[in-house]
Amino acid sequence: MSTTIAQNRSFGAALWDYLTTVDHKKIGILYLVSGGFFFLLGGLEAMAIRIQLIKPANDFVSAGFYNQILTMHGTTMIFLAAMPLIFALMNAVVPLQIGARDVAFPFLNALGFWLFLAGGLILNASWFLGGAPDAGWTAYAPLSTTSPGHGVDFYVLGLQISGAGTLIAGINFLVTIVNMRAPGMTYMRMPLFTWTTFVVSALILFAFPALTVGLFLLMFDRLFGSGFFDASMGGNSVIWEHLFWIFGHPEVYILILPAFGVFSEILPVFSKKRLFGYTAMVFATVLIGFLGFMVWAHHMFTVGLGPAANSIFAVATMAIAVPTGIKIFNWLFTLWGGNITINTAMLYSLSFIPTFTIGGMTGVMLAAAAADYQFHDTYFVVAHFHYVIVGGVVFGIFAGLHYWWPRMFGKILDEKLGKLTFWTFFIGFHLTFFIQHFLGLMGMPRRYWTFLPDQGLDTGNLISTIGAFLMAFGTIVFVINVIVTSVKGEKVGGDPWDGRTLEWAIANPTPHYNFKQTPLVRGLDAFWIEKMDGRKEMTPAEPVDDIHMPNSSILPFIMALGLFIAGFGFIYQVDNSAWLAAVFIGMGILLGCMFIRSVKDDHGYHIHKEDLDKGAGL
């Protein structure tokens, strides 16, 4: 198991390398590529939505097909684009930031990725197999339980499998951050991106099981004739709504907190100042995570829960504005008195502040229950969540990618193209979504395939669509940027931004084992401290020694493949019980792999210290 011969590998070898890798840096790249692909796909679906709505009574797509596009847009963007892209950044950065050689469970890390991909592929296979899910990304019963065809079954199985992957990833990061920190890296010295990863992983741990159960019940109702959500059998559809939102609301913080983490890294670096109010930032992160579990019913104000429940959840929801506000002001005061450099990463971070503030404020407006009776399920809500998601999460991902690209790929993304992307995307974004606030109150519900002429909704929708085209343009420029940079870009050193945290203390390209010697951490912004003391490198915490590394394995890939097969079996066994064979084969593969894994000892291998100097593991 030597990785020394990294030079001229054949394509096959590279492929095998990625299929079997357990290296967090490579898994990060896998997440990036697949998440990026799904982002383009989700964006394409968004374009179809906007084209359909460009004018009243349009029929660019049919009504039923529109619902499929809309459902897949939401589902793809949330589960298959935003989350994996966030995981890409976490995988690429978190172990480096805490001075670790690897994550706690490299094998599970790989498994988590492959499960996500298997789930995503199952979900999207529905396009070719009789139609995609069409009950909205929230899949409210009984529409979802009665939706004809197999669309919603693909939703159920796809999300179930990728959800399992997410849960695994969450546990992995939790343990990594608890157990793998370098000496001296106390909790209150962890960079904020690591902190947000930690909190988000805990949210995943507590939120995803509710979705798991919800999906199981939905699956039982659709495929095995149970009656959880079927009023005629005594069931109750409100159960699904609760289960979905007990998961769903924490989910939106799962998306935004890592973005907060990204900005908390970028703003200090490019204003050359320490993060203002670090302790308060940590505290606010934890508080947001905590409160995030007590507000889910704000998505259900119009369901009929009664004024008492609505009021309680309304007030609890508003409370989240406080810790979020603490963050906003701390960022502003990080900039205050700084020496601010504006590059692409910084442009995204800076524009995030007003954009997200708008989105958050509309959130608080939504939280006012009696006002939400008007807002709910209109384009006002659509505007709210795209402001926080695109203006927060997507900007965060773009910012993070520009910032960490040299760490991940050793090159800086082209600044000119980067700025072009930023400006078109930014302007397009506001054009698309600002006007939607008004559309909503003017009487345009969301999830509408079309709207009638002569209801005062035409101009607003037209502007919105124009904006979406600008965003598409910006995104395409970004893709070009990636290609151009990888072909022509110049290699840079390990610390191109004058960084403050540990990931910049490593030479480029990052060695397989990350740190030759585990660094000794002496405070917050560990690397910055050393630089201020006139050193170029971290002080090591240990002598050079053999480095223990985990073995690569193809098992994660095969396990995911097993579930992929079983997924189809579950879906089609209602039509023909012969498909049960696929269930058994798939589950057999899965259990077989688990068996092999537990029976085969895997002690990993060592890179010997003599080889380290010869460049082993690069």
Any contact of residue 156 with ligand HEA (CB under 6 A)? no
Per the CB < 8 A criterion, the answer to whether 147 and 213 are in contact is no
Going by the DSSP 8-state scheme, the letter that residue 295 receives in this structure is -
Q: Which H helix or E strand runs over 549?
A: strand 547-549
Give all strands (DSSP E) within 421-577, no chain letters. 547-549
Interface with other proteins (CB under 8 A), residue from 40, 54, 121, 463? 463
Question: ∠567-570-571 over CA atoms, to 5°?
Answer: 90
Nearer to ligand HEA, 266 or 444 (CB): 444
Q: Which residues bind Cu ion (CB under 5 A)?
A: 249
Beta partners for 548? 606
Of 56-95, binders to other proteins (CB under 8 A) are 62-64, 66-67
Nearer to other proteins, 33 or 353 (CB): 353
> What single letter denotes the amino acid at residue 173?
F
Q: Please count the residues of the chain.
A: 618
Give the number of other Cβ atoms within 10 Å of residue 125's Cβ.
17
Interface with other proteins (CB under 8 A), residue from 415, 458, 537, 611? 458
Encode burial over 296-319: b for 16+ CB neighbours within 10 A, e otherwise: bbbbbbebebeeeebeebbebbbe
Look-up of token digits 């124009």: 466
Tokens of 172: 């992995």
Any contact of residue 227 with other proteins (CB under 8 A)? yes
To ligand HEA, the closest distance from the beta carbon of 349 in angstroms equals 15
Any contact of residue 421 with other proteins (CB under 8 A)? no
Any contact of residue 578 with other proteins (CB under 8 A)? no
Any contact of residue 49 with ligand HEA (CB under 6 A)? yes
Any contact of residue 104 with other proteins (CB under 8 A)? yes
- Which of Cu ion, other proteins, ligand HEA, none sits in contact with 432, Cβ below 5 to 8 A by type? ligand HEA
Beta partners for 18? none
Tokens of 348: 């995204």
Maximum alpha-carbon separation in the chain: 78
To other proteins, the closest distance from the beta carbon of 385 in angstroms equals 16
Query: What are the backbone dihedrals phi and psi of residue 232, each rounded to the nearest 5 degrees, phi first?
Result: -70, -15
Interface with other proteins (CB under 8 A), residue from 18, 60, 127, 438? 438
Of 61-120, binders to ligand HEA (CB under 6 A) are 70-71, 73-74, 77-78, 81-82
Of 137-176, binders to other proteins (CB under 8 A) are 140, 142-143, 146, 167, 171-172, 174-175
To ligand HEA, the closest distance from the beta carbon of 448 in angstroms equals 6
Pattern 311-350, binding to other proteins, x per CB under 8 A?
Answer: x--xx--xx-xx--xx-xxx-xx-xxxxxxxx-------x
Nearer to other proteins, 409 or 451 (CB): 451
> Which of 13, 43, 48, 32 minimizes the C-alpha distance to 92?
32
Total chain residues near ligand HEA (CB under 6 A)? 59
Going by the DSSP 8-state scheme, the letter that residue 547 receives in this structure is E
Contacts of 321 (CB under 8 A, 6+ apart): 360, 363, 364
Any contact of residue 376 with ligand HEA (CB under 6 A)? yes
CA dist., res. 503 & res. 602, Å (int) = 28
Any contact of residue 401 with ligand HEA (CB under 6 A)? no
- Which of Cu ion, ligand HEA, other proteins, none sits in contact with 475, Cβ below 5 to 8 A by type? ligand HEA
CA dist., res. 505 & res. 527, Å (int) = 6
Interface with ligand HEA (CB under 6 A), residue from 65, 448, 579, 605? 448
Any contact of residue 321 with ligand HEA (CB under 6 A)? yes
Question: Distance between terminal CA atoms of the chain?
Answer: 14
Alpha-carbon torsion (322, 327, 330, 332), positive or negative: negative
Any contact of residue 298 with ligand HEA (CB under 6 A)? yes
CA dist., res. 202 & res. 196, Å (int) = 10
Pattern 265-304, binding to other proteins, x per CB under 8 A?
Answer: ------xxxx-xxxxx------------xx--x----xxx
Cis peptide before 142 (omega within 30 of 0): yes
- Which of Cu ion, other proteins, ligand HEA, none sits in contact with 40, Cβ below 5 to 8 A by type? ligand HEA
Any contact of residue 375 with ligand HEA (CB under 6 A)? yes
Residue numbers at the binding site for ligand HEA (CB under 6 A): 40, 43-44, 46-47, 49-50, 70-71, 73-74, 77-78, 81-82, 136-138, 252, 255-256, 298-299, 317, 320-321, 324-325, 328, 357, 360-361, 363-364, 366-367, 372, 375-376, 381-382, 384-386, 388-390, 392-394, 432, 446-448, 468, 471-472, 475-476
